[in-house]
Amino acid sequence: MQPPDLQTLASRSLTLTIPISYTNALPGINLTDCTPLQLTHLLTLGFRRLILTLAYPAGASDWATPSGTSLSSLSTTLSTYLHTTQTTLTASLIYLTLHLQGGPPSAEGSLEPLGEYIYTPRTLRAERHNLNGARSWFGARADVRPERGYFTITEEGSGLQTENGWPTEGFVLLQHRRRVVVDITRDGDVGSSDDSDDFFAGETIHMVQPGECFDASTAWPGRGNNTFAAAAVDGAGEVAGVMNCGIAPILAPSASSGEYEAFIDASRFPFSGDEPEEGRCAVVDTSTGKWHAKSCEERYRPACRVNGGAYTWTIPAREGSYSQSQDICGGNNKFAAPRTPLENRHLINSTATKGYVWVDFNSLGEEECWIVGRDTKCPFTQTGHEGERRVVVPIVSAVVVFVVAALMLCVKSRRSRKSKRRRRKGGDRIEYEGVPA
């Protein structure tokens, strides 16, 4: 199993404090039919949202794909993949949505292989009921607490509660050591479901039409209704437009396996193409929305978040180096970086002057370790052996796997290797520590 490339690690670092309901830079795919081998290939390529449709044939003992692969078999395959990637770097956020046709009222038996990895509605309800509890979101380390503006909060007695909040990826992975959330939709023949405590209902991940951009007329996402939005796209050319509207792209079943790599690459945020290259500080090109790495001593205008709002930005006329950016922002404005493609779109739309703008994202502390802020600790530390680097398990670099199992459409895929330039470079051997058991 190859370690994630630098672009993936940068994306994880950027979204550490964003609830999983808003991290939409995650490529998905609809599957009409899927074998265990194909499922493994799709996960290895980088697909993190899987929509599957399964029927329950007469006389059968389990749901199955058209080619006869059972839900239990696919669950075992996914469990094996999760086990082999159970490290801080390779643990990933996966959405699995299951469309179940017919069958018994509970899918618990078929999904039993995933049991130890599943983040359940029961757990979410308990955390929402007591946000500042020792095992809830605001009782956790600061680097995995979700930002409060992404959901509504009410005070009940001495505690804080929410009806629409979600945790961050790092919180779910390390606080609960869970990596899967299953979302199940059933047809009219199934009747009532017995799975409401263990698996999320089908409306959790909602599909919208491409082009239905989130109305960010308010300063914070929590005042809108854009959580877990996804839209079907026909190919890589439609990905950017969908993601920039706050929506996760789902590759249509008509796409060929030859389009998978381009689709995955188009879903990357904030860096894409050959970036980050030699620079150690990040800029966004306001004419394209793309991010680049530049020398920190170059002079550009800074991106300043206004009064902490997610979608309210100002870009002063004065230029300066990366280290001067906060002073240039001044007042109640904060030198910041957009955490999602939607925030990025609002940043570049805040100015009519096109060109490079500093964003608060850098690898000053350690090469190839991109972080938000100058004083943030890098999730990589030297082991003491020359030429070796160990990945530590701080909540800082964790990512939850959100399994969306909805059996709808799958095609053969081939594993592709990313360019050597974007992987961790050199002859250094990398040693990984697993997520604590």
Mean pLDDT of 193-217: 74
Q: Which two tokens stand for residue 161?
A: 């509660």
Name 410's Cβ contacts closer than 8 Å, sequence gap at least 6: 29, 31, 32, 33, 34, 35, 38, 39, 42, 52, 65, 253
Rounded to an integer, the average pLDDT of 101-106 is 88
Structure confidence at residue 112 (pLDDT): 94
Structure confidence at residue 221 (pLDDT)? 61
* 412 contact partners, CB below 8 Å, separation of at least 6: 38, 41, 257
Give one word for 308, left, alpha or beta, with left for phi > 0 and alpha for psi -120 to 50.
Answer: left
Structure tokens at 208: 């919208």
Of 41-45, 149-153, 224-228, the range with the highest mean pLDDT is 41-45
The pLDDT of residue 374: 83
- Domain residue limits, the chain: 19-267, 281-372
Q: Which fold has domain 19-267?
A: TIM Barrel (3.20.20)
Look at residue 408 in the predicted model and tell me its pLDDT.
Answer: 40
* 88, 393 Cβ separation under 8 angstroms: yes
Locus of tokens 């854009």: 226
Position 90 scores a pLDDT of 66
Residue 130 has pLDDT above 70, yes or no: yes
Closest-CA residue to 434 (of 90, 126, 162): 90
Distance CA 316, CA 30 (A): 44
Could you tell me if 376 and 361 are in contact, meaning their C-beta atoms sit under 8 angstroms apart?
no
Write down the pLDDT at residue 344.
95
* Rounded Cα–Cα distance for residues 148 and 298 (Å): 34
User: pTM for the whole thing?
Assistant: 0.81
Token readout for 374 is 């100058």
